[in-house]
Structure 1
Amino acid sequence: MSQSPSIHPTAIVEPGAELGSGVRIGPFCHIGPLAVIGDNVELMSHVVVMGDTTIGENCRVFPHAILGAEPQNTAYKGERTKLVIGRNATIREGVTMHTGTGSSRGITTVGDNCMFLAYSHIAHDCVLGDNVTFANNVMIGGHAVIGDRVIIGGGAGVHQFCRVGHHSFIGGLAAVTKDVIPYALVMGNRAFLAGPNLVGLKRSGMDRSEINVLRRAYKSLFAYELGSMRENASRLLEEHKDLDSVRDIAEFILAPGNHKYMTPLSDFRARMADGE
């Protein structure tokens, strides 16, 4: 049975906005005319939903979040672009998410079951998978792609156009300026690749034998005496084509485009010793 939306008298819901069953809109919220708010969404207070923004069912949005503002990009000329947020998101105080740009994807997308802690930011044209967690003050630049079950620690930043493979963990205050392969643990400023994300893999329920294969594959990937990173990825793809986790990493590296990847800790130390 549908339940009528509950709207506080001080809230403003502009004509044209679509509100699902059981929506609760608290004091001093402002909902724009293009907004689509799914069933059982709660906007606590002082929440602003702008532009062509869709919020999936069962999301909870805390005070002073701003969703769907136009992108911070000089290429944006006022064209209609979108922000789409999946189901069951927790969006804490002061979080900002921007719509896409007409010169790129035109849409910013956030998957299901994500959690964004206070003052984290999602820029234009980003793609986020399911079960993503951002700690406080995480910043991701435009066009970034964040895979499923990625966790990013407080104050970390991901440079525009970078990809972060799924099941990766980015440590607090890390500065990520290159692509991060799936299942990786990254830390430092500038960030370096510290190895597989073993804690995350165990928590995900991955079998110990598969984790051991993944650890060996990680070492082989950066065995430059055997070949370039792409050559090693091609070999791993052939050797482990029936193992999803290794195939994920290999296909991530072999994806079309001029991608650069995070530096392993051993290479990072070598560069520092050389005075770079």
Structure 2
Amino acid sequence: MKQPSAEWPRSVSIHPSAIVAPEAQLGENVQIGPWCSVGPDVVLGKNVRLHSSVVIDGITVLGDGVEIYPFVTVGMAPQDLKYRGEPTRCEIGERTVLRENVTIHRGTAQGDGITRVGAHCLVMANAHVAHDCVIGDGVIIVNNVVMGGHVEIGDGARIMGAAALHQFVRIGRGALVGGVCGVESDVIPYGSVLGNRARLVGLHWIWLRRQGVEAPEIQAMRRAFRILYPRQGGDGAVLESRLAEVKRDFADIPRVQEIVAFMEAPSRRGLVRAIRPSAVTSETEGA
């Protein structure tokens, strides 16, 4: 398709070498570069830009202002042997940027039938977002991150380079996953995990400060964290007792209650274990 369909806005720009199905829905000012391929069930919002050699397939919706760099594929069939061609979906939120070689697969009938990446996200080169993953708004996923199916990542989380997320893992809002980190269990909201096998080392203090969280609330979160994850030789109460204590004593701190609710929610993978406090440096405590 070298000429825009009569139903597309006149502001649409399509390179002569691109292949765009006439049934695709294109918004105003869409730019489709050389050697791109856009399938018939694709919806591109306003100001979407596909640089070159981008493949958008399946029932896929790109929000306004999405920008996609070369050799990215979005909405292709999932890497799941149970998939039998069911009409599942993929959605990318507005103003999200996908860098080179990113792959994002559509959902499966065994999941919720949709893979979703939120708005204002940055997914860097060579990252893979598997089927049925749900990624919140403002998430940054750094180069070479891979994830299994059904992973959930909360708003504002940061996943550093070459991290690997096991299927069904939940990453809480504002959490930090360190580079080259294998995450086999859930990471609490605002948690910071490091290591070859992820271990919780504290809360993501830098992110909290950048979000404008005031010092009294940060101090309350610090106290709550120390109750939930006591120092070696400290309180030996079972987790349920510690959760009850934090829920009672920090009832007026919404972010602490968010952490408690996350820890009490059903989980397929359990919670990431904390590293021994003696191994946590003062620099990590303040990070």
TM range (shorter): over 0.9
Q: Does 1:231 align with 2:241?
A: yes
Give, in whole Å, the separation in 1 of the partners of 2:246 and 2:10: 54
Alignment of 1:145-156 (within 5 A): 145-156=152-163
Match of 2:147 in 1: 140
Match of 1:248 in 2: 258
Give, in whole Å, the separation in 1 of the partners of 2:89 and 2:278: 39
Q: Which moved more, 1:49-58 or 1:191-200?
A: 191-200
Alignment of 1:188-203 (within 5 A): 188-203=195-210
The offset of 1:103, in angstroms, is 1.3
Match of 2:103 in 1: 96
The offset of 1:202, in angstroms, is 1.2
The offset of 1:236, in angstroms, is 1.4
Match of 1:74 in 2: 81
Q: Which runs of 5+ in 2 are unaligned?
A: 1-8, 280-287
Give, in whole Å, the separation in 1 of the partners of 2:21 and 2:241: 56
- Contact 1:234–1:254 at 8 Å: present in 2 too? no
Counterpart of 1:265 in 2: which secondary structure? Answer: coil
Give, in whole Å, the separation in 2 of the partners of 1:258 and 1:136: 27
CA deviations 1:90-133 (Å, max 9, x no partner) are 11000000100011110011111000000111000011111000
- Contact 1:17–1:36 at 8 Å: present in 2 too? yes
- Contact 2:168–2:269 at 8 Å: present in 1 too? no
CA deviations 1:211-232 (Å, max 9, x no partner) are 1111111110123835322332
Give, in whole Å, the separation in 1 of the partners of 2:25 and 2:278: 51
The offset of 1:241, in angstroms, is 2.2
The offset of 1:239, in angstroms, is 2.0
Alignment of 1:73-222 (within 5 A): 73-222=80-229
Give, in whole Å, the separation in 2 of the partners of 1:177 and 1:230: 22
Counterpart of 1:238 in 2: which secondary structure? Answer: helix
- Contact 1:237–1:251 at 8 Å: present in 2 too? no
Match of 1:23 in 2: 30
| Structure 1 residues 253 and 268: CA distance shift in structure 2, 3 A | farther
Give, in whole Å, the separation in 2 of the partners of 1:257 and 1:196: 20
Q: Which amino acid in 1 is paired with 2:220?
A: V
Could you tell me which of 256, 266, 275 is aligned with 2:276?
266
Counterpart of 1:74 in 2: which secondary structure? Answer: coil
| Identity percentage of aligned residues | 41
Give, in whole Å, the separation in 1 of the partners of 2:62 and 2:49: 10
Give, in whole Å, the separation in 2 of the partners of 1:17 and 1:134: 29
Give, in whole Å, the separation in 1 of the partners of 2:193 and 2:20: 43
CA deviations 1:131-184 (Å, max 9, x no partner) are 000110011110010001001111001110000001111111011000000111
Counterpart of 1:22 in 2: which secondary structure? Answer: coil
Coordinate RMSD, CA, aligned: 1.5
| Structure 1 residues 251 and 174: CA distance shift in structure 2, 3 A | same
Give, in whole Å, the separation in 2 of the partners of 1:249 and 1:70: 35
The offset of 1:235, in angstroms, is 2.5
Q: Which runs of 5+ in 1 are unaligned?
A: 270-276
TM-score of the two chains, using structure 2 as the length reference: 0.90
